A and B are shown apart, each in its own frame.
Chain A
């Protein structure tokens, strides 16, 4: 199985007539079994088609045309209009919203996440590449054109969660090359506030029988890793986790932002070294090199701690 999406997931693309959105739509239609992209929305473009997908002025029109609730939306509209687009999706019954757009004001993101929570919807991103279930479906630009995505992602037991879109593919490719496929890979976004954190996705992977281990990509900045460490400790997770921490050099450069909007060291808790210590305390092994990840997760999956609480298994394979 997978988390969040499967072969039957229906979704729309908001902002579908934009250059990147046109490409993204093609990629999703081509990948795996072919995504069910049931419509696109760009105000003023009713009646057009993008790769055969009908374009509407509003989400309500797309739902009416589809004749049934639409599960998801990929939002690619400019930052100033993203909040309105997401509100519109949520109010029209969309349950899963992947926000690709970068540089959305933090205040808008907070409001979107708040409304999603109130309405029982989930946001992935912003500033993310979306979700991929290898050989089945992708929702968003993750992995790029179908042929490129197929080269990097293979089906298997590993759940991947990453703050970097590109590194989701780099790590999955490394896992695939080592014979470890992925159950679902999620690019969660590089902003300071995002709709779904590691800890918020863990219960989904926990409930997914296919998933036997988790690999995460992390960076300095924010409290997400501390939250994950707490979740793992408190929930007696069956899933071993290996993390890769990039941006270690930033510990020496407080106040400067690198990589992503949320990647900045503003306090001691934000540093790579602090996060590594916190993750290790929770039994999460932290890799220094990406090529070490496959052996580390394999050791954890077959090790004495496998299948039970991951606490106490720290340092396995930490060569």
Chain B
């Protein structure tokens, strides 16, 4: 796996010191602070075109690595987990979708047991609709298996969003997302 620095140029800190939070990251903190339920935040800004709505702690690390390993350029890092509300998931997805240069978002998590699949699905679809976008177009892939997945997958199907269950690995989901965004950009 090649980890060139190209993918992390620009806003990513390459010095030995952590940098100041960007306005985008501060907006992420506001989304997370809007209610106490769960986490939808820990946003770090990068300069790519693939928006990430990912979780949880370990899953986010794994997915960010996987996106880069497949040549993808993440627009951000973030973490959702602990069963955030629909409005929090929506707020985070909206923030990422609105970021200049973001063509699509990938919504991916390791198997969830506390966070509900249907709530995240509702949140990200709501974000697309409120921005006047087609969820099927904007969501490159939705890969969150686990609690309430049947309900979640039903909602995704209704809006034509490409989704994957646990038989699709985190790595494979990341690969599909990168492939789609590269196809769209070409």
Contact = CB atoms under 8 A, between A and B. Distances in A.
A23 B113 CA distance: 11
Nearest to A250: B61
Interface residues of A, number: 45
Given A219-B58, A248-B65, A148 B42 contact: no
B68 interface: yes
A290 B62 contact: yes
Interface residues of B, number: 42
B147 A256 contact: no
A145 B60 CA distance: 22
Interface in B64-99: 64-66, 68-69, 77, 79, 81
A166 B59 CA distance: 7
A172 B13 CA distance: 34
Interface in B1-43: 1, 3, 5, 8, 12-14, 16-18, 42
Given A141-B114, A145-B147, A173 B62 contact: no
Given A148-B147, A164-B58, A255-B16, A289 B169 contact: yes
Given A166-B57, A166-B110, A246-B65, A258 B169 contact: no
**Max chain A CB contacts within 10 Å: which of B14, B55, B113?**
B113
Given A166-B110, A256-B18, A291 B57 contact: no
B8 A252 contact: yes
Contacts, number: 132
Given A148-B147, A149-B113, A166-B111, A255 B56 contact: no
Given A219-B58, A247-B65, A169 B111 contact: yes
A252 B3 contact: yes
A237 interface: no
Contacts of A252: 3, 5, 8, 12, 14
* A-B CB proximity, top 8 nearest: A144-B113, A164-B58, A167-B58, A247-B61, A246-B61, A170-B110, A255-B18, A259-B57
Interface of A: 20, 23, 129, 141-145, 148-149, 152, 162-167, 169-170, 173-174, 177, 190, 217, 219, 244, 246-256, 258-260, 263, 288-291
